[in-house]
Amino acid sequence: MAKRLGEAAPWGEAPGSPVNSLDDGCLMHIFSFLSPIPDRYNTALVCHRWRFLACHPRLWLRVERPLRDVKEPGVYPDLEAAISAARPGDTILIAAGGTYLACNIQIKKPLCIIGGGELPDDTVLTCSRGSDNALEFLSTCKIANLTIKAELGCCLLHRSGKLTIQECLLQCEPNPLDYLSFPIVSTAIEYNPLPSSLKEQQGHGVTVVRTRIEGGAKAVRTNGTLALQRVRAIYARRSVFFWFEVGEKLEPL
């Protein structure tokens, strides 16, 4: 702790450590050679400076409409291209403004997809009429700060893994004709017969945090063995914010 007060390196590296001599750009370049899971996440735990650089947006993939024909490394014109180029554990930042098409995009590796605007309303993924859902998750993923709009079908289809939906806006058809429109559909099946005694949720599930859900027949449809639970809602002036989990049904003891 005394190190913080002195004039020694502002980060916690010992003055003798040679890594101290590398500038931020070089260290980030080194981290870009590491696969995010598990190596880059491990480096985030080493010390404050490494955490700052390992989680830095410069290492994220970006989805942006290209201004000119110049191809920038790490920048992709649409979400599908970014997803196929990403490594497991990568973070994809979708630029705010405009809408991006997202139709039946399958995600089979752990990814974090973030909207680049200040509010979720700034970054919109639209699923057009012909498609079943915008995003289909077959792996543990996280999405944050995005608006997902499904013109007819579902916003998110959760098949397996742990899905975290944080501060998003899910919009479905407001007056659905058939019971086809659900913001979230989960078909995950938990095969573990033993009731989970740990507080932490294991295995498959969906965790929703501070998300607005509009339209659709009902918020969540589960075709598998998971159940909706721990629902909380806050009624703000213009919309309702939800928190809930879809997971293994917790048996009352």
Partner 1 sequence: MAATPADASSSSSEAVVGGEKSNKMITLISSDGESFEATEEAAKMSVTIKHMIEDGCADDGIPLPNVPAKILSMVIEYCNKHAADADDTNKHVADPADADEDDDNNNNNASAGEKEDLKSFDASLVAVDQATLFDIILAANFLSIKGLLDLACQKVADDIKDKSVEEVREIFKIENDFTKEEEEAVRKENAWAFNE
- Its sign, for the CA torsion 60, 61, 62, 68, is positive
Strands 205-214 and 240-248: antiparallel
Q: Among 229, 222, 209, which residue's Cα sits nearest to residue 143?
A: 209
Binding mask 10-49 for partner 1 (x = CB under 8 A): -xxxx-xxxx-xxx-xx--xxxxxx-xx-x-xxxxxxxx-
Q: Applying CB under 8 A, which of residues 64, 102, 110, 248 lies at the interface with partner 1? A: 110
Strands 147-150 and 124-127: parallel
* CB closer to partner 1 out of 36 and 120: 36
Residue 232 and residue 201 in contact, taking contact as beta carbons nearer than 8 Å: no
Residue 52 and residue 31 in contact, taking contact as beta carbons nearer than 8 Å: no
Q: Which residues contact 19 (CB under 8 A, 6 or more apart)?
A: 13, 27
* CB closer to partner 1 out of 92 and 172: 92
Query: Under the criterion CB under 8 A, does residue 72 sit at the interface with partner 1?
Result: no
Smallest separation (angstroms) from partner 1 to the CB of 244? 17
- The number of residues that bind partner 1 (CB under 8 A) is 46
* CB closer to partner 1 out of 47 and 217: 47
Q: Would you call 176 helix, strand, or coil by DSSP? A: coil
Of 194-253, which residues contact partner 1 (CB under 8 A)? Answer: 200, 202-203
Smallest separation (angstroms) from partner 1 to the CB of 98? 27
Query: Under the rule (CB under 8 A), what is the footprint of partner 1?
Result: 3, 11-14, 16-19, 21-23, 25-26, 29-34, 36-37, 39, 41-48, 50-51, 55, 89, 110, 112, 140-142, 161-162, 164, 200, 202-203
